[in-house]
Amino acid sequence: MTLILNSTPIKRTALSYVILILGIICIAANLRAPVTGLAPVLDNIIFSFNLTPSQAGMLTTLPLIAFALASPMATSIAKKQGLEISLFIALILIGLGLASRLIDSATMLYLGTAIIGIGIAIGNVLLPSLIKRDFPHKVAVMTSTYVLAMGIFGGCYSALIIPLAEYKNIGWQVALACYGLLTILSIIIWLPQLKSHTRPTKDLLTSAHNNRVWQEALAWQITLLLGLNSFFTYIIIGWLPSILLEAGHTAQHAGALQGAFQIASAVPGIILIPLLAKLNDQRILTSLLASIAAICSLGLLYFPEFAALWTVTLGFCSGACFILGLSFISLRTHNAQQATSLSGMAQCIGYLLAASGPLIAGALHSYFGNWATTLWLCTVASALCAIFGYLGGRNITMKQAIETR
C-alpha cells in the first residue's frame, strides 16, 4: 500500500531539491541490494551453516514476510513521527540488519535479514509518497529514477559480491555487511530532511480500509498479475545463481547474471512509464511480455548455454509486467480511495505469493534433486500472468466493470 500524503509540496531552494533527489536515490539504493545480494553467496551460506535448500529459501522469504507485516506499521510510524523521520528509521533498520551479518550465527543471519525486510518495507511504502508530495508534476520521472537506482545498485552488488568475498579471502559475511557503508552514507545524506515532519491526512489514511474491491473480478485480475509476477521474480532472484551453477556456470558468472537480471528489470521504467499515458489498451503488450518470460524460463532449463540472453530478457519482462501492473492500479480505478484499496489488496496477495515462491522452489529442489520442476513452475506462473495481464489490460475501469457484469 502506498501512503498518500497532503499534496502540498514543501517550499525548497534549488540546492535543497538537489539534496532531496540525492537522498531519494540513496534510499532507493538500499531497498533491494541488501536482500538480493544473498543469492550469489547462498551456496556458501548453506555450506557454512549446513542449511537445507528450504531453510536457505527462507532467507529470501523472510524479507517478503516482513514486507507484508511491516507495511501497515509504516503508515502508523509516518502518522506519529512524520514521513522524513520514518524514512530515516528505515535506513537505520537496514544498517543494523547489515551489521548483524558480521556475527557468525545462522540465527543472527535470519534475524538481521528480517530487520532489513522491515526497513525496506517502510521505505517501499513511504518513498512513493514523498515523491508524490514534492514532485507532483514529475512523478513518472522520479519513479523511473528511483526504480532504476534500485535495479542498478542491486544488480551491481550481486555481480560484485563473489569477487569481493574472494578478495583477500574476506569471506561472504564481510562482503554482505560492507553494503552497510553505503547505508551509512545514505543516513548522512538524509539528515537535512529531518527538520521536516510531514504527516499523512486522516481521510486518506482510512481509505485503504475499503474492502469492496475484493469483490471485483477486475481487481483480482490485476492483483494476480502482480502477485504471480512477484512469485516467479523472487524465485529467480533467490535461486538463479544456484540454477546456473547446476547448469555448469561459474560462481562469478552466475552472480554477474543475477546482477544483470536486476538491472534489466529496472530498464523498462525508462521506456514504459512515459509511454503509458499514451496507450489506451495494454492487453497485447502485457500478455506478450509475460509470454516471453515463460519462454525464457524454459530457455534456462533446456538451453542453459544461452543463459545471458534468457536472464536479461527475463529481467526486462519481469520489470515491465511489474510496472504495467502498478499502472493498472491507477488506470483501472475510479478515484484515489479505490486505487488505495486496490493497492493494499495487490500488496497483500502479492507478498503472500512472493514469499511462498523461494520456499516452494527450495522444497522442489530438495525433493527432485534438480531445478527443472522449479523452472516449469516459473513458466506456468508467467503463462498465468499473460492471461491475467490480458484481462487487466482492457481499457475499462472498476466502475465500468461493475456496470457491465
Q: Helices 53-81 and 336-368: crossing angle, nearest 10°?
A: 160
Answer whether 38's CB lies under 8 Å from 158's CB: no
Closest CA to 32 of 133, 164, 145, 151: 151
Q: Any idea which residue has 500488496 for its cell?
A: 347
Answer whether 213's CB lies under 8 Å from 347's CB: no
Q: Cα separation of 67 and 52, whole Å?
A: 24
The whole-model pTM stands at: 0.78
Q: Cα separation of 12 and 20, whole Å?
A: 10
Closest CA to 333 of 394, 399, 288, 276: 399
- Residue 332: predicted pLDDT: 82
Per-residue pLDDT of the chain (405 residues; tens, 9 = 90+): 444 444 455 567 888 889 999 999 999 999 989 988 888 888 889 999 998 877 888 887 888 888 777 777 777 787 788 889 999 999 999 999 999 999 999 999 999 999 999 999 888 878 877 887 788 777 667 877 888 888 889 888 988 998 999 888 899 999 999 999 999 999 999 999 988 766 654 444 544 455 677 888 999 999 999 999 999 999 998 899 999 999 999 988 998 998 899 889 888 877 776 676 677 788 999 999 999 999 999 999 999 999 999 999 999 999 899 888 877 877 787 765 676 677 778 877 888 888 889 889 989 998 999 999 999 999 999 999 999 999 998 888 876 444 444
Closest CA to 130 of 285, 9, 276: 9
Three-state SS string over 211-273 comes to: CHHHHCHHHHHHHHHHHHHHHHHHHHHHHHHHHHHHCCCCHHHHHHHHHHHHHHHHCHHHHHH
Q: Cα separation of 38 and 161, whole Å?
A: 9
- Residue 7: predicted pLDDT: 46
The C-alpha torsion from 246 through 361 and 117 to 345, rounded to 10°, is 140
Q: Cα separation of 198 and 83, whole Å?
A: 5
Q: Cα separation of 88 and 359, whole Å?
A: 31
Closest CA to 118 of 99, 93, 88, 86: 93
In the chain, what are the domains?
1-206 (1.20.1250.20), 210-405 (1.20.1250.20)
Report CA-CA distances (Å) from 116 to 91, 100, 196, 258: 9, 10, 25, 20
